[in-house]
Structure 1
């Protein structure tokens, strides 16, 4: 965070300490979610129609007082604020009680419960899932290079979810985002992944780095494919992308490395849910490929 942002995180005199802390927490949460999406503040402003200036105020704890009033209403009703602003259909009583029950336990228990339910779903199709291998991770980790090598080695199709999405939408990714926005992209992402799984018994898939930003789509990937997170240090991610002749990560953004580190930090918890993690830092392509074969052999 810049010095200007630090200096602007001053308490609002018209609010209580607890209310100020809530606005600061909300700002941090929005900034973290923006990082998980891999979006700059300018990108979010374009997608949301909200000015960069207001987003900056929101992220430094100076959000509109209306959010405090909405929070007070939620507290008066005895419900979490998320229940007031949820857009999807009302969830079943069973799911509501299950979520409430799980909140009583530490995060480690949540992981155990998710794995238990996942194993139950996979019990009849475990061998099929092992034939479908998906790579996730940020650009520069080696997904395309290693994925191509693995597909040739196994004699199965090599697929890139980004290209499948473009086929589904009839437009390239930049057009999807500029014309339809993030929500439409995630919808096409879901359709593309469902199509790939339904039409192929075995494959190597490059799922991309941002799929973890949409929990429903990432859950579908985890339950349908043997998922491998290819990771590397931020410095290696950046240097490999630039070595390929792509200087866009640095264009017009002197804080590109900090943005990259923030994105990686924001996504690490979800990336870690993969079946296997392979660190390609300081490894040759051949060494990393042998690491993948060793994981698959286990």
Structure 2
């Protein structure tokens, strides 16, 4: 006999310490989606018009998973509700997890963007000589503070090609600063400007070194477009160096009013690591000065024929 759904949703009806596996999985997925977008729990609660307490219970697998409220949460995360509700077979191993992630990305795309993904797959499986054009553009991905701008400028100068910061291109596209785009128009509008800016810089630059925003990898269509047209480099470093470099640049926002800034940063990095890992090559700048990192990157690019 099927169990009463209320026994699955109400923490008071279950044995102490016992949680329904699906609700636990649902909470972990919401927490991961939130982290990948760099949203605090407070930000998501406000965007979804739910209480922080409800969201905390939901993320720990102890809350009442109302479908209507889940729909609001999915909307605030800018993902379709099926992506939030998807049930994953945790017995399937890494291959099953990778396939599920791919399906979640695909579920978000309209028809025209699915065509772009198909083209990206075609390019990835094409013979090496047909991918030469992709190697003329080097795109640096990674969390803020990894050293993308410093490394990118040095690489562009060494290669004799333009250096482009996608953040600046996004601001040009929108006619507003990044903070104004987010505060006035919201995350969905920012993602549209990000895609348009990327399309424009790809169209205008046959050769370049491109530094991208840390969250670009969270938007499947935009990230796949980047992967299809650029040779990508994950610039990574330790969470401590990420934070120290951002603060050294004079930006205290990560620390203001947030006693758990480092915990949040680690969570974001963990959530995005599988996405950053899709890059063609990785360069670790931990404990390295800019010149040493540049030399290491140039050596890897020469070794791989990029």
Shift in Å, 1:135: 0.4
| Distance (whole Å) between structure 2 residues aligned to residue 219 and residue 12 of structure 1 | 40
Structure 1 alignment gaps of length 5 or more: 1-9, 71-80, 87-102
Name the counterpart of 1:281: 286
Name the counterpart of 1:106: 95
Of 264, 272, 276, which residue of structure 2 is paired with 1:271? 276
Q: Does 1:255 align with 2:260?
A: yes
RMSD of aligned Cα (Å): 3.2
For residues 232 and 20 of structure 1, do their structure 2 counterparts lie closer, same or farther at Cα, with a shift above 3 Å needed? same
Does structure 2 conserve the Cα–Cα contact (< 8 Å) formed by 1:133 and 1:227? yes
Shift in Å, 1:50: 3.0
| Distance (whole Å) between structure 2 residues aligned to residue 129 and residue 157 of structure 1 | 15
| Distance (whole Å) between structure 2 residues aligned to residue 177 and residue 270 of structure 1 | 23
Q: Deviations over 1:65-109 (max 9, x none)?
A: 4349x9xxxxxxxxxx828989xxxxxxxxxxxxxxxx9993598
Name the counterpart of 1:54: 54
Name the counterpart of 2:110: none
| Distance (whole Å) between structure 2 residues aligned to residue 15 and residue 222 of structure 1 | 46
The two structures have a TM-score, normalised by structure 2, of 0.75
Does structure 2 conserve the Cα–Cα contact (< 8 Å) formed by 1:122 and 1:223? no
| Distance (whole Å) between structure 2 residues aligned to residue 11 and residue 189 of structure 1 | 41
Name the counterpart of 1:6: none
For residues 84 and 256 of structure 1, do their structure 2 counterparts lie closer, same or farther at Cα, with a shift above 3 Å needed? closer
Structure 2 alignment gaps of length 5 or more: 1-8, 71-80, 87-91, 102-117
Does structure 2 conserve the Cα–Cα contact (< 8 Å) formed by 1:212 and 1:270? yes
| Distance (whole Å) between structure 2 residues aligned to residue 109 and residue 66 of structure 1 | 28
Q: Deviations over 1:174-204 (max 9, x none)?
A: 1211222211111111111111111110111
Name the counterpart of 2:43: 43
For residues 294 and 83 of structure 1, do their structure 2 counterparts lie closer, same or farther at Cα, with a shift above 3 Å needed? closer
Q: Equivalent residue of 1:248, what SS?
A: coil
Q: How does 1:77-226 map to 2 (within 5 A)?
A: 82=82, 106-107=95-96, 117-120=122-125, 125-226=130-231
Q: Equivalent residue of 2:152, what SS?
A: helix
For residues 289 and 47 of structure 1, do their structure 2 counterparts lie closer, same or farther at Cα, with a shift above 3 Å needed? same
| Distance (whole Å) between structure 2 residues aligned to residue 238 and residue 129 of structure 1 | 32
For residues 211 and 83 of structure 1, do their structure 2 counterparts lie closer, same or farther at Cα, with a shift above 3 Å needed? closer
| Distance (whole Å) between structure 1 residues aligned to residue 53 and residue 93 of structure 2 | 39
For residues 107 and 59 of structure 1, do their structure 2 counterparts lie closer, same or farther at Cα, with a shift above 3 Å needed? closer
Does structure 2 conserve the Cα–Cα contact (< 8 Å) formed by 1:45 and 1:52? yes
For residues 289 and 193 of structure 1, do their structure 2 counterparts lie closer, same or farther at Cα, with a shift above 3 Å needed? same
Does structure 2 conserve the Cα–Cα contact (< 8 Å) formed by 1:151 and 1:203? yes
Does structure 2 conserve the Cα–Cα contact (< 8 Å) formed by 1:11 and 1:20? no
| Distance (whole Å) between structure 2 residues aligned to residue 144 and residue 106 of structure 1 | 34
| Distance (whole Å) between structure 2 residues aligned to residue 50 and residue 248 of structure 1 | 25
